[in-house]
């Protein structure tokens, strides 16, 4: 999106460089990426960088409201309400579409947000691989402003491990070896020295949790939580008879499962500003918009774009039995702003914040970019095209 840098990149690119990038990722992590990696990073110009940071700060201010738990009291399904919730989400993820303002300049529009981790380990690995193998100028930065590779790792350690021993901290997931994000788990384990553990491995003794490896009992005092409870319930038959995680265990969660619901689509109707498309709970709209094709219908409780209706009709709305669990959000028009050798691509940029216990406010740590040439942005919807997929943004600060 920075014209001279984009032109130089496209002219210097070769398929051999891209293959070297993919081989590097597999060799350095021991895992082959299970999702498509884009042939290019995204070069973000200064004005768009400033607008992204301003929009991200505005979202964070809503999350830092003293009454945030009261505001989001209805967000947590009773079935998944877990005791022992802490005072803050250690992770805040905010997704923005790159669009064009009326004056033609690039500007962000809020798409979604999560109180749940993203690919904090892998994205740093990917950004470094782009620098090694492709034409990324040294003046652009992928980390949050002021962070270095060393301070970023320290920030992750403070956020994920906290004050607990790394040996008593685990990365917890449902069938991690089968997840598309396995490559991130591998990088995180190598970076922080915390084992990746499947829910099926957990054992309990009263309020204490532990697992066994190499014939040894390993106590657990902190959980880097990657478990989505809906997924856990769907996969429960494959897991044998795992313990019920909705108990009051003597562990610290990072993040606590309840924040997955609190910081979610549920907050979209409460966020306003030039970067925020209009959004309502479906049961709170006094009059439905006449031009429904200008809106997107999203279920509150879904993952990876499942259940989203891009072009809703009145009939779609009539079929919904629980309108309080759906959001109607103003449709965002992505700008085909990233020029590639095979045509322009649309872009979404994810700002990834860490909020360790020793920080007064969330810290912008990293980013994730996704490129698309189709209707849907998710990497799984673009498998048949090139110059699309998961990527990294490099900002002009």
pLDDT at residue 148 tops 70: yes
Give the per-residue pLDDT at 289.
Answer: 87
> Whole-angstrom Cα distance, residue 319 to residue 287?
17
**DSSP notation for 253-281:** EET-TTHHHHSSGGGGGG--STTS--EEE
- The CATH class given to the 161-254 domain equals alpha beta
The answer to whether residues 116 and 255 touch, using CB atoms and an 8 Å cutoff, is: yes
Tell me the helix, strand and coil percentages in the chain, rounded to 5: 35, 25, 40
Lowest-confidence segment of 68-77, 290-299, 349-358 by average pLDDT: 290-299
User: For the segment 68-115, what is each residue's pLDDT rounded down to a tens digit?
Assistant: 999 999 999 888 999 999 999 999 999 999 999 999 999 999 999 999
pLDDT at 88: 95
Question: Mapping DSSP to helix (H, G, I), strand (E, B) and coil, where does residue 26 land?
Answer: helix
* Annotated domain spans of the chain: 3-145+258-277+332-395, 161-254
**Matching residue, tokens 């657990």:** 220
Residue environment code for 240-275, b if the CB has 16+ CB neighbours within 10 A, otherwise e: eebeebeeebebbbbbbbbbbbbbbbbbbbebeeeb
pTM of the model: 0.94
Tokens of 306: 């499942």
- pLDDT band (50, 70, 90) for residue 301: confident
Say whether pLDDT at 379 is over 60: no
pLDDT above 60 for 305: no
The pLDDT tens digits of the residues spanning 112-131 come to 999 999 999 999 999 999 99
- Checking if the pLDDT of 307 tops 90, the result is no
Coil, strand or helix: which one is 351? strand
Residues 6+ apart with CB under 8 A from 301: 77, 230, 261, 325
Q: What span, in angstroms and rounded, lies between the C-alpha atoms of 10 and 237?
A: 49
Report whether pLDDT(235) > 60.
yes
CA distances from 20 to 11, 13, 34 (A): 18, 12, 17
What's the rounded Cα separation, in Å, for the pair 39 and 28? 18
Return the higher-pLDDT residue of 240 and 181: 181
How many H-runs (helices) and E-runs (strands) does the chain carry? 10, 17
Give the per-residue pLDDT at 142. Answer: 98
pLDDT digits (tens, 9 = 90+) for 255-282: 999 999 999 999 999 999 999 999 999 9
Q: In what helix (H) or strand (E) does residue 159 lie, and over which residues does it extend?
A: helix 149-160
Would the pLDDT of 236 be above 80?
yes
Question: What number is the average pLDDT over the span 346-362?
Answer: 97
| Cross-strand bridge partners of residue 349 | 96, 369
Are the CB atoms for 129 and 165 separated by under 8 Å?
no
Q: Give percent of the chain with pLDDT exceeding 70.
A: 97
pLDDT value at residue 378: 60
Highest mean pLDDT among 46-60, 67-81, 230-244: 46-60
- Are the C-beta atoms of residues 346 and 371 closer than 8 Å to each other? yes
| Three-state secondary structure call for residue 132 | helix
Residue 302, pLDDT score: 65
What pLDDT is stored for residue 230 in this prediction? Answer: 83
């Amino acid at each position: 999106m920075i014209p001279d840098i984009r032109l130089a990149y496209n002219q210097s690119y070769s398929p051999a460089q891209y293959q070297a990038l993919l081989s590097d990722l597999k060799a350095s992590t021991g895992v082959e990426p299970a999702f498509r990696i884009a042939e290019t990073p995204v070069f973000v110009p200064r004005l768009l960088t400033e607008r992204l940071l301003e929009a991200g700060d505005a979202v964070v201010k809503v999350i830092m409201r003293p009454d945030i738990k009261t505001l989001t009291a209805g967000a947590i399904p009773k079935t998944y309400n877990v005791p022992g919730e802490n005072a803050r989400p250690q992770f805040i993820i905010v997704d923005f579409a790159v669009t064009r303002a009326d004056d033609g300049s690039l500007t962000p529009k809020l798409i979604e947000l999560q109180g749940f981790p993203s690919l904090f380990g892998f994205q740093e690995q990917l950004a470094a691989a782009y620098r090694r193998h492709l034409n990324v100028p040294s003046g652009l930065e992928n980390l949050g402003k002021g962070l270095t590779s060393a301070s970023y790792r320290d920030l992750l350690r403070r956020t994920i491990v906290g004050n607990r021993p790394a040996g008593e901290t685990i990365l917890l997931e449902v069938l991690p070896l089968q997840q598309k994000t396995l490559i991130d788990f591998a990088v995180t384990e190598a970076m922080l020295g915390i084992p990746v553990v499947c829910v099926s491995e957990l054992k309990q003794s009263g309020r204490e949790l532990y697992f066994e490896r190499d014939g040894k009992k390993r106590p657990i005092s902190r959980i880097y939580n990657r478990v989505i409870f809906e997924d856990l319930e769907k996969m429960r038959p494959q897991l044998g008879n795992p313990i019920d995680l909705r108990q009051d265990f003597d562990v610290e969660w990072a993040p606590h499962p309840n924040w997955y619901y609190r910081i979610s689509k549920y907050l979209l109707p409460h966020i306003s500003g030039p970067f925020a498309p209009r959004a309502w709970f479906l049961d709170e709209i006094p009059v439905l918009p006449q031009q429904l094709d200008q809106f997107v219908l999203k279920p509150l409780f879904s993952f990876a774009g499942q259940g989203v209706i891009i072009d809703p009709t009145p009939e779609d709305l009539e079929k919904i039995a629980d309108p309080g669990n759906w959001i109607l959000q103003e449709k965002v028009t992505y700008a085909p702003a990233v020029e590639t050798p095979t045509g322009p691509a649309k872009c979404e940029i994810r700002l990834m914040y860490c909020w360790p216990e020793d920080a007064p406010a969330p810290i912008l740590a990293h980013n994730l970019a996704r490129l698309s040439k189709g209707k849907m942005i998710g990497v799984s919807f673009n498998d048949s095209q090139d110059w699309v997929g998961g990527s990294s943004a490099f900002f002009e600060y």
